[in-house]
Amino acid sequence: MHDIEPYANWLKYYNPSLDKKSPFYGKEYNLEQYSDTIYGYYIDPAWDFMGSETLYIKILYTDYRAGYTVIEFIGEWNDTINNDVMHLKRNIIDEQLAAGINKFILIGENIMNFHGSDDSYYEEWFDEVEDTETGPDKLPGWIAAVSFPDFIQLELRKYHVDQYINMGGTLQIANWRTMHPQAFCETVNALITRRLT
C-alpha cells in the first residue's frame, strides 16, 4: 500500500496546501518520512488525514468559480465502526460547501472495502449540494463516484448510498489521469447532466 501515491500531475494547476480556502492550507509534507498507516500498512506521506484511521484523501483539484472539487481516496471506507462519512462531511465537505463548492467528484480506485451504516450524512450532503447553484451553468450540484471498483459499488447500493451519489456506467472513466483537470470536471458534469435530464 505504501507505493500507491495520490495523483500528482495536477499539482501545477492546484495545490491544496497553497489554497487559503482548503482544509489543508499550510500543511507541510515530508515526502521522505512514512508515518501514517492503514491497518498497520504505511501509506505514502502525500495522502491527507481527514479524521478516519482507515480512509485517507487527497484533494486533487478545486475550481471555486465553477464549483468543482476532485477528491481521491485510499483505504477502507468504514461507516460501521469509524463513521468515515461523518469525518469526511464535517472535516472536509462542510468547508468546501461553505466556500461555494457544489460539484463533488470522488475518485475511488484505491478504496479496498466499504462497510455501510446509516445514510443520514449522505442524505444531508446530497440535500445541501442539490439546494445550491454555482458556476456559469447555474445548475444544482451533485456528487459523483468515478472509477469505484464494481464490488464497492455493489456495497454502496446495498446501503442505498446510490440514492445520493451518482456512480457506475459512464462514470467508470479509466483515462481520467490523461485529461486536464478542467476538462475532466466538465466531462463528468456533462455525464451527470445527461443523467439528470
Q: For residues 22 and 92, what is the distance between their CA atoms, to the nearest angstrom?
A: 8
Tell me phi and psi for residue 183, to 5 degrees. Answer: -65, -40
Extract the runs of DSSP E, i.e. beta strands, from the chain.
37-38, 41-42, 48-49, 55-63, 68-78, 103-115, 133-134, 139-140, 142-146, 166-167
- The residue that leads in pLDDT, 136 or 129, is 129
pLDDT at 195: 83
How sure is the predictor about 51, in pLDDT bands with cuts at 50, 70 and 90? very high
What pLDDT, on a 0 to 100 scale, did the predictor assign at position 138?
A: 62
Summarised one tens digit per residue, pLDDT across range 72-108 is: 999 999 999 989 999 999 999 999 999 999 999 999 9
pLDDT exceeds 70 at position 146? yes
Measured distance CA(135)–CA(116) in Å, rounded:
32
Q: Is pLDDT at 196 greater than 80 in this prediction?
A: no
As a whole number, mean pLDDT of residues 119-141 equals 81
Say yes or no: domain 37-196 is CATH 3.30.750.24. yes
Q: Is the backbone of residue 10 left (phi > 0), alpha (psi -120 to 50) or beta?
A: alpha
Instruction: Confirm if 66 and 32 have CB atoms less than 8 A apart.
Output: no
d(Cα 58, Cα 6) in Å, to the nearest integer? 6
Lowest-confidence region among 55-69, 100-114, 131-145, 147-161:
131-145
**Residue ranges covered by each domain of the chain:** 37-196
